Structure 1
Amino acid sequence: MLRDKTGSLTISDMVNGTVPPSDFLLAKDIPTAGYTSDTVWLKVTLTTDSTWQPNLTLIAQPPFLHTLDIYVPKTSSPGSGEDFTVFHRGTFYEDQQPGNWKLFYTVPLMLPDTNEATLYFRISTGSTVTLKASIATTAGLLDYSLRWMSFSASLIALSVIALLISLFFWLQSRRRFFLSFAGLMFSNAFLVACHSNLLPGFVGATGDILFSIASLLIFLGNLVFIHDQIFPGRAPRWMRHFIVGAMVYNLFGFANLYLDLVPYTAVITPLMLAAILSVLVLVAYYLRIYLRTRRPGSLTALLAQTTQTGFAVSSVVSLLGGPDILRLGERDYWVTMGPFTILMGLSMVIRGNHLYQRRKITSSQRLAQRAERRANVLAEERTAALRQAKTVAEEALVREKLGRAEQARFVDIIRHQYQTPLAVIRNSASTLLSTLPPDDHANRDRLGRIEVATRDLREVLQVSLSRARLEETGAAVRFEPVALGELLAATVERCRALHQHHAIRLDLPDRLAEAELKLDRRMVAVALDNLIGNASKFSPDDSEILISAASLGTGIAISVKDQGIGIPEDELASVTDRYYRASNTGNVSGTGLGLHIVGEVARTHGASLEIANADPRGVVATLTFPAHRPPG
């Protein structure tokens, strides 16, 4: 095989061997040179053990080459071009080819009386240079023609049947992949008809354009089919962009047939590579779907696409000038069309049946829903009185909740108005008590009673306010992001002023200071005040109350630890019950509601409350909140 880049070599040059040896290419069973504008020469030597049979015919394919000049020797030892009979075939020489339908090119062989004859082929085309040739007798030519027509017609008929089935399912379901498969089947049928020259009248330049349209159409049909199969699944975005870009470039290829902006090779080669990559992606997609669902439809689709991919890769490699792996020439794609169409058509039938069953189920569900609606209407008619009673009860409940809200606002006002004076009275009493002589028992007793009374009054107001807030109608917790450091610092500052006889210490790591909790600031402040108040009541004066925070996984724990009398182990589970007081509280005043309120605050915040005895003495109460923003 020789590549003539200038197109100036003649049959005499080939016979005499006056060509550069570097221009020779490796000979192949089915010669291919890919998409090229170069002229290609083939030298073929035929040998026989006896003399040549009469009435032999040379059969050459494909039938869309621009020019195919076949040189048949007249003598046993030709020495120049005059010793050859030249036959002109190709789309540029339609008038020199017998018959109306050009399924393939034929040339009568009248070989010299010798055991060896050398033929020369000169090929020039605007498409891929590929040639498959064979020699047959008259009977063999007829048989070859019938088989070739039957093969082509069968592929067309199979594609049309699959097209009609897909259109039927598309009309039933309106699913795009049925329509795109129908488009692919039309592309297949059109390609076979054009490649086989089964469309009479489309010859010469018109036939060449028609063949180019068929080639571009088959790529577009495959790309659209692959796109509709993969999307709208969870495929990567870059994959969609790649396939859509390939389709846009394919449409440019159609326009380029008339505008002739770039060579045909520059259009078809990238499309071939894009199509191969796309079908490989589709095989991977079908494999993933089958491994996940194990459905028969997915398996048949996987087998169909795998079969098509193998032959398509072989065909593209051959068309681009590579080795013809399957030794079928340009019919690699055709051979796979049969099993691909049958398997993929079966997959479409399975999918269509699956959608039909789903539609039946949906129809049954709609019937059930209509029956349910009728039953609901009947139930509504029968329960009108109950709805009216419910409305009356809801109105009464709203009035009760409004009353509770008003009570909460009243208690809030009272607490706001009296909290500061009570704190001043208590602090003044404490100051006076520290200045009295130790032996002034009478005044010390009076100031002690004032201090206890103000503390009890403040606790009653605090508990009442907390209960009112928790039971308030609009007591939906008003969540907001709160910085942990800010919350604990404000709590410690407030409680140090209220519990001056205790050393209140804050242990907060720096990395947790900026951590955020999503909570109701006021309700959590009430809970922490109750915990610190309990620690103050049940621990000796001048003892330390430790407030600390720690990070626990996705949550943050706030702990209050005292050095008080502790809680009996068998009563730990009951201390958060309403009105419950531990058996060792003695004469220490209290309502039994403080820890109950803390527990309610934790519940409304989705937090947890844990109360345990400390070692060696005291109690540790821990509130664990989910973190809104983890520490940095």
Structure 2
Amino acid sequence: MLLSIYASIFPKTAIAAPALPPLRIEALVDDAQRLGFDDILLQGQTGFAPLAGQGINLGFGRRAVWLRLRLESPVDQTVLLSLTPNFVDEIDVHIGEDRPGAVAADFRHLAMGDNRPLIADGLSGLANVVPVALRADREALVYIRAAAVNSALGLTVSAHAPSEHALRTTVFALVAGLWFGGMAILVVIQLVFFHYDRKPWFILLAFSTFMAAMVYAGSLGISRLFLFPHGGTGNDLFTAVTAWLGISAGALAASSILDLPAKAPRLHRAFLAIAGIGLVGVGFALAGHNLMFGGFGNLTSIALVTLAVVQALRRLDSDGPGSGLRAAGFGAIWLGILVTCAQRVGVVSLPEWGSYSYGVGVAVHSVLMTASLGVRLRAAETLNRTLHEQALVASQSAEARATALAEERTWELAEAKRVAEAALQAELASQAAQVRFMEIISHQYRTPLATIRTYVDSVGLSLPCQDSANRQRLDRVRGGIRRLVEVLEVNLSRSRLTGPFLRPDLAATPPAAVIEATVARAQDLLQIAIVPVLSPEAEASRIPADAGMLGIALINLLENAAKYARPGAAAPVHLRCDRRGSEVIFTVEDRGIGIPPAEIGGIFGPGARATNAGAIEGTGAGLSLVSRIAAAHGGRVEIDSTLGQGTTVRIILPAGETPAPAAPEPFAPAQTRGR
């Protein structure tokens, strides 16, 4: 092909060039790498067998092969022998003439291979090129020894005229440049896709494409030219590591592109195992044992791509746009790997170009995968646009419905507000009427009670001093009058504290005054034994309080203690006042029936009564009013109760400024009055 291109460009030169001699190649495999050139010359024709083609492939193994070429030309000319591939570790070329008794010194020796320094002859580059000078009617004899140290062993020999060398090199470099340039463009496109759509398969495909390019950079000798011109095992290591990393990257990219974690978890685990094998191969390569594990790498690559092809074909009709391109891409790389591995290992006899089928497959695969992902990205954008438009329409519809609903609810709320305000006004009017009623009742009762008290006092003045029986009767009448007056006063105060009337008139109040007034009123009202206790700290304190309102709260607690006392129990009720830090605590403690534990949390609600209250008269408003009064004073209420043993209620209020220490008068509890 190169000759025809060259002849079309330079027809005169092509016509004038002498015909190339035919290549007759014989091979001798040296499995133990023990035969030197002297040994080959001594054994003569023994062991060499003719080759059907122009090359031999022995696959992975630490071995050597000797090739013998016989060249004859009717005219004097120079022929260039091209030895490929470039990554063969060691190549020794011995050039001489076929004559009896020839020894090694009669042959010109050239040492080549990527483990040796690059020959500066201006000919060798991406291929090892050997010039052979032919004389008319004399047979030239060329011995070539190729040996593998840490890579696959294969060698192909081709001949061309020196006048064609520049064209061959240019065409080969142009094709390689186009291939590497195309791969670089694909990597850039994949990275651009990743920039706009952060899907992992874009970055994994870019890495896989890059590693495939690096594999061919090593196989074609580009890395040797630029990185390892002085020989050594560097190029072997570079090629092996990039090949193994390519397997790992390819496995991860294929799993991501095929969406195996979601659609085929078991197959995904198999691909992860293959990626792990690639990393193990990197370890073998770095340890210098690539030959030991290299053959397994070929099988792993074939297994990987075969599984990917099968899965891509299975999902051909169910994965939407781009699935056909994806299946074709995996098919292309599968065919390329199959042909390349067969050529490298020597399973079947294939020409040298078979080793480049993987590169073609990789390029086609990368193009089709990029196109497939581009189609998916385009489909996703179209779907997103459609969903956005649908969402916009739905949003506009929802906004219209919300506006209509808001207008409807606004009207309903306005109507509800009007009804609530009317109900509130009615409630306030009812409460005001109730307070007015209690005031009238209190006034109407006070006048006759005062008259009765006057007549009782007049009767008492008229009784003889020794008439103790009648005087005791009059005392009981006076006690009943006082109790009735207290009932009227307490209920009038309670009615005034409902609704908006619960606004305390705060003043600096001594707790002792509150305790004394409460005990006095409670004893007239409730006729129970009350034990008041006032600590010295509380006695010296002042609290910002409405004394009358706070007294009603304590009266309510004392009334509950009297009302819910255990039948037959005569235990007194304790009323204590203590100071704790910046708080003053009023405590009412009884030995009554107690409150069930599950009901304590809701006992302060309006109308709340314990279930064990039974038929005891009550409305459930007492503790609710206590809680509201405490809150109006900036305080709180705490309650402890044990069923069947009693209840302790604490009103905790913030203390005001404590006056300078003085000698306060000791608190004298009110005495229990007789009836």
Q: Same fold (TM over 0.5)?
A: yes
Paired with 2:78 and 2:49, the residues of 1 have a C-alpha distance of 33
1:245 is matched with 273
Q: CA deviation at 1:273?
A: 0.9
Paired with 1:335 and 1:30, the residues of 2 have a C-alpha distance of 21
Secondary structure of 1:55 counterpart: strand
Paired with 1:130 and 1:114, the residues of 2 have a C-alpha distance of 32
Q: CA deviation at 1:356?
A: 2.0
The alignment status of 1:137 with 2:165, answered yes or no, reads no
Q: Bigger CA drift: 356-365 or 34-43?
A: 356-365
1:4 is matched with 30
Q: CA deviation at 1:367?
A: 3.0
Q: CA deviation at 1:270?
A: 1.8
Residue type at the aligned position of 2:369: M
Secondary structure of 2:332 counterpart: helix
The alignment status of 1:384 with 2:409, answered yes or no, reads yes
The alignment status of 1:181 with 2:205, answered yes or no, reads yes
The alignment status of 1:211 with 2:239, answered yes or no, reads yes
User: Aligned runs of 1:109-508 on 2, under 5 Å?
Assistant: 109-114=132-137, 116-125=139-148, 126-199=150-223, 200-203=226-229, 204-205=231-232, 206-232=234-260, 236-260=264-288, 263-292=289-318, 295=321, 297-325=322-350, 327-384=352-409
Aligned residues: 386
Decide whether aligned partners of structure 1 residues 172 and 31 sit closer, same or farther in structure 2, where only a CA change above 3 A counts. Answer: same
Secondary structure of 1:120 counterpart: strand
Aligned residues of 1:74 and 1:111 also touching (Cα < 8 A): no
Percent same amino acid among aligned pairs?
Answer: 18
C-alpha RMSD over aligned residues: 3.2
The alignment status of 1:13 with 2:42, answered yes or no, reads no
Q: CA deviation at 1:105?
A: 0.8
Decide whether aligned partners of structure 1 residues 347 and 101 sit closer, same or farther in structure 2, where only a CA change above 3 A counts. Answer: farther
State the Cα deviation string for residues 113-150 of structure 1 (Å, max 9, x = none): 43644422111121000112211222211111111111
Q: CA deviation at 1:18?
A: 6.6
**TM-score, scaled relative to structure 2:** 0.52
Paired with 1:281 and 1:251, the residues of 2 have a C-alpha distance of 19
Aligned residues of 1:155 and 1:337 also touching (Cα < 8 A): no
Paired with 1:179 and 1:375, the residues of 2 have a C-alpha distance of 44
The alignment status of 1:104 with 2:122, answered yes or no, reads no
Secondary structure of 2:69 counterpart: strand
Secondary structure of 1:91 counterpart: coil
Decide whether aligned partners of structure 1 residues 207 and 190 sit closer, same or farther in structure 2, where only a CA change above 3 A counts. Answer: same
Secondary structure of 1:131 counterpart: strand
Aligned residues of 2:74 and 2:136 also touching (Cα < 8 A): yes
State the Cα deviation string for residues 506-528 of structure 1 (Å, max 9, x = none): xxxxxxxxxxxxxxxxxxxxxxx
Paired with 1:40 and 1:314, the residues of 2 have a C-alpha distance of 23
User: Aligned runs of 1:557-572 on 2, under 5 Å?
Assistant: none
Residue type at the aligned position of 1:167: L
Residue type at the aligned position of 2:206: A
The alignment status of 1:67 with 2:90, answered yes or no, reads yes
Decide whether aligned partners of structure 1 residues 45 and 107 sit closer, same or farther in structure 2, where only a CA change above 3 A counts. Answer: same
Paired with 1:243 and 1:293, the residues of 2 have a C-alpha distance of 19
State the Cα deviation string for residues 251-304 of structure 1 (Å, max 9, x = none): 1222333344xx212332222212111111211222222244684x22222222
Paired with 1:349 and 1:100, the residues of 2 have a C-alpha distance of 43
Residue type at the aligned position of 2:331: T
Paired with 2:248 and 2:70, the residues of 1 have a C-alpha distance of 41
Aligned residues of 1:76 and 1:113 also touching (Cα < 8 A): no
Q: CA deviation at 1:63?
A: 1.6
Decide whether aligned partners of structure 1 residues 387 and 265 sit closer, same or farther in structure 2, where only a CA change above 3 A counts. Answer: farther
Aligned residues of 1:51 and 1:114 also touching (Cα < 8 A): yes
State the Cα deviation string for residues 182-214 of structure 1 (Å, max 9, x = none): 112211222233333334133323333222222
Q: CA deviation at 1:177?
A: 1.8
Decide whether aligned partners of structure 1 residues 100 and 369 sit closer, same or farther in structure 2, where only a CA change above 3 A counts. Answer: farther
Paired with 1:362 and 1:139, the residues of 2 have a C-alpha distance of 65
Paired with 2:217 and 2:98, the residues of 1 have a C-alpha distance of 40
Which consecutive aligned stretches of 4+ in structure 1 deviate over 6 angstroms post-superposition? Answer: 23-26, 385-389
Aligned residues of 2:247 and 2:274 also touching (Cα < 8 A): no
Structure 1 residue ranges without an equivalent (≥5):
392-632
State the Cα deviation string for residues 563-609 of structure 1 (Å, max 9, x = none): xxxxxxxxxxxxxxxxxxxxxxxxxxxxxxxxxxxxxxxxxxxxxxx
Decide whether aligned partners of structure 1 residues 100 and 383 sit closer, same or farther in structure 2, where only a CA change above 3 A counts. Answer: farther
Aligned residues of 1:315 and 1:324 also touching (Cα < 8 A): no
Larger Rg, first or second structure (1 or 2):
2
Q: CA deviation at 1:81?
A: 2.4
Structure 2 residue ranges without an equivalent (≥5):
1-26, 417-675
Secondary structure of 1:377 counterpart: helix
Q: CA deviation at 1:4?
A: 1.5
Paired with 2:196 and 2:397, the residues of 1 have a C-alpha distance of 28
Secondary structure of 2:316 counterpart: helix
Secondary structure of 1:114 counterpart: coil
